[in-house]
Structure 1
Amino acid sequence: MNKLMRILRKKSVLLVLFLGFMFVLFVQSQWLGRWMYPIHYEDSIREHAAKQDLDPLLVAAIIRVETNYEIGRESRKGAIGMMQLMPTTADWAMKQMKLRKMWTVDELRREADPNIQIGTWYLRSLIKQYDSNTVAAVAAYNAGPGNVSEWLRSNKWDGTLESAKQQIPFNETKLYVQRVFHYYEKYKRVYGT
């Protein structure tokens, strides 16, 4: 019986040490963090975010929530590509950007770089529209600027992240804003600011 107790104690100690090691590895490991929170198309995201004076980690968080970096996605409502642009919004943005090349809906669906280019421009335009209120801009990226402007104008929502969960009228947008800023914080911890 004593021999069995010693074996169990040794195994318990080894298990506790192993779990402690795994915890430290999980919490402290940048490699593990990058594995759990990868950023695909990082060069394209950084390039286009820099051109729009955006934090590339915020752009990455939006892409993560929108499509988890899957090219070729189309939503039930018709939003296309990794950044889930509505074709009419993408067309409007390309005209506003005065691009030499106007991409087709199919190209925007299949190709990451132009989708990111237009998506970052559109996000910057929303941030300008909401006087640098990034939270309101992210909500508008999901719900549309007309809805968000109405919520702010009618005091349904005060435009802050803290009140988003209680005040945003659309459940989808409420969850969207929370998820984007959740991943944004994770990315900042893993990749730095």
Structure 2
Amino acid sequence: MKPAPSPQKDAYSLVLEAIDLGLYKPGDRLVESELAERFGVSRTPIREALQRLETQSLLTRDGRSLIVASLDHNQLAELYVVRSELEGLAARLAAQHATEEEVRVLRDMLDSDRLLAKDPAALARTNRRFHKMVHLASHNRYLVQQLDLVYRSMALMATTSLSSEGRAEIALAEHDEIVQAIEKRDSDRAYAALKSHISKAYVTRLKSDAEAAE
């Protein structure tokens, strides 16, 4: 069934969200007419959205077709280096500047996410919301903008590290460490906890990719 069009989102946001949610995975071909029908919009904004996504290297050419790009080993390493530093900084600033309400929301998110430990797909979605809340709690608009770019590239990952056996429970414990540090306004601890969290997620992904290549 074709999803109802959303008046709040433009064609670019709709296509990007579809990639982020895994409706279109790396290597999948994107066709203007199919996308226009799926999202209930005309082909012109879809064409403009695809051109924009190609410019941002989220789509690539395969002959005359546009396909969802993929990240090679080196690109993945580069992305995680940047993500680790920027997210660590966001946690440090959140410990310094988050409002009491923002800290409470982070704690509530974590409590809710524990109920999803057996559902990696659902947990992946709430995981993004948790990290976004940390970004916003930094109260630094320029940092949030850069992290948005990083997460846009992360949409090119076909799988989530949370699907690896045991990773969900460990990730939630790491989130708890991050929230505790922010609650206690310990900026150094928050920075270290989030950097460690990203590093462990990267190790999990590398192991998963290696096993898939066997």
TM-score (norm 1): 0.27
Q: Which of 1 and 2 has greater Rg?
A: 1
The structure with the largest strand share of the pair is: 2
TM-score (norm 2): 0.25
